[in-house]
Structure 1
Amino acid sequence: MPTSNSIWQQLTGLLRSIQPCQLCHADTQHWHQVCEDCWKSLPWQRQALQRQGINIIAPCRYDYPLNRIIQQYKYQQQLQFQPLLSGLLSTLKLPQKIHAIVPMPISTERLAERGFNQSLLIAQDLAKQLNVPIWQPVTRLKQHAQKGLSRLERMSDIQQQFKLTPPDPVRYRHVLIVDDVVTTGSSIQALHNCLIELGCQQISVACLAVAEV
């Protein structure tokens, strides 16, 4: 006899099969609320890249149409794209034995502007999938405009934005940093340095998309 959970899954699958794709609206949903053609048309890369000497795994390049989707998600509160974005991370071959996920923190000013931390939302979906906790041992101070600063000045400014929260007895050996888009990797490096200071022995990094520099 089917369980209530299996019945719900069947009903959910049936409903998605008749709903229009969130991107083209011309075909029905197939992969994470988009149709098969739109899913295949995303700027896939599925390879590790390096920024600031740190390996970063990402399913896609920061290119059309994903760049517009992420921008609408972050700046226009188009949260209907979250299943798609979380679905992109689920395609990655992640390292084994991750003990916790660390979402890229944003400042309280950015949080007030957007109403949410986009990296935290997608990290929460991935944490459920992997059955690991979310860990937020680092806060981010006000993010300043960096126009006119040299490369070294920008890196120093970003590093100073990241601060350890009050002492926490919880420690994790292997953590996964999750961010939405990585460009120069300066924020990743700053957070990476804080986690090293906390005693993390292995730090992996995943993001939705990597932009060209």
Structure 2
Amino acid sequence: MLQLINQLLHKGMQSISPCLLCGIDQQQTHSLCTDCWNHLPWYKQHIERHQQNILCAHHYSFPIDRVIQTYKYEQQLHYQTLLAHSLLNLRLPKVQAIVPMPISTERLKERGYNQMLIIAKMMAIELKIPVWQPVIREAQHSQKGLSRIERLENIEQQFQIIRTERRKYKKVLIIDDVVTTGSSVHALKQALENLGCQQVHTACIAAAK
């Protein structure tokens, strides 16, 4: 009931609030005006990383790059609706649960929140499926100076499965903010497969080169 009340209040505020980007026209459900929403750097295609097809909403360019940076590092949480709707605007596969990219305890203490968990919870309400967090991420070490193989091994070692979650869901969707090499989503996918997931799909807000 509280969640429903919050949704109604949010929609009521949107009806009188200006667009988060231009600050002029009235914002829609995604928190932007129609013109700013249409002029985002949409991609809406799959990219291939580590032999994975990753569904991508945007190119990592202005203004979405700045939005992601301020949301992630500067606690500008009012952008969560825009970013969640960017993913919801894709032709997402039918899955049983959403798996947000985990962050380490160290990163969680630094930021105070997991940016993708917030977005996953918003998407879960719209899609009427649960958020699932069956993988813990250990300390995220610097990748500087490592070879490609060493980088992959380093990242794979960061993801530890919670064995009590084995075989809970078969079809899941990983969501992440920015995919560059794809090594993190690849490592998370492997961990989920070790838990018994048979179909692991991935979607990201933006793809960087």
> Once the 2 structures are TM-superposed, how far is the Cα of residue 193 of structure 1 from its aligned partner?
0.6
Partners of 1:127 and 1:211 lie apart in 2 by 26
> Once the 2 structures are TM-superposed, how far is the Cα of residue 170 of structure 1 from its aligned partner?
5.3
Distance change >3 Å, CA 47–CA 33, structure 1 → 2: same
Runs of 4+ that moved beyond 6 A: none
Q: 1:165-205 CA distances to partner (integer Å, 9 max, x unpaired)?
A: 24235521101111111110000010011111111110100
Aligned partner of 1:185 in structure 2 is 182
Q: How does 1:92-107 map to 2 (within 5 A)?
A: 92-96=90-94, 98-107=95-104
Q: 1:105-153 CA distances to partner (integer Å, 9 max, x unpaired)?
A: 0000000011110111111111111111111111000001111111111
Residue correspondences, number: 204
Partners of 2:39 and 2:177 lie apart in 1 by 19
Partner secondary structure for residue 176 of structure 1:
strand
Match of 2:203 among 178, 194, 206: 206
Partner secondary structure for residue 18 of structure 1:
coil
Aligned partner of 1:155 in structure 2 is 152
Identity of aligned residues (%): 52
Structure 1: gaps spanning 5 or more residues: none
RMSD: 1.8
Partners of 2:37 and 2:183 lie apart in 1 by 30
Match of 2:46 among 45, 48, 52: 48
Partners of 2:201 and 2:116 lie apart in 1 by 15
State the AA in 2 paired with 1:43: P
Partners of 2:56 and 2:121 lie apart in 1 by 17
State the AA in 1 paired with 2:135: V
Tell me if structure 2 keeps the 8 A contact 1:17–1:30. Answer: yes
Partners of 2:58 and 2:69 lie apart in 1 by 15
TM-score (norm 1): 0.90
Partners of 1:210 and 1:198 lie apart in 2 by 27
TM-score (norm 2): 0.92
Partners of 1:172 and 1:12 lie apart in 2 by 31
Distance change >3 Å, CA 17–CA 52, structure 1 → 2: same
Partner secondary structure for residue 19 of structure 2:
coil
Moved more, 131-140 or 163-172: 163-172
Aligned partner of 1:39 in structure 2 is 37
Tell me if structure 1 keeps the 8 A contact 2:135–2:162. Answer: yes
State the AA in 2 paired with 1:131: K
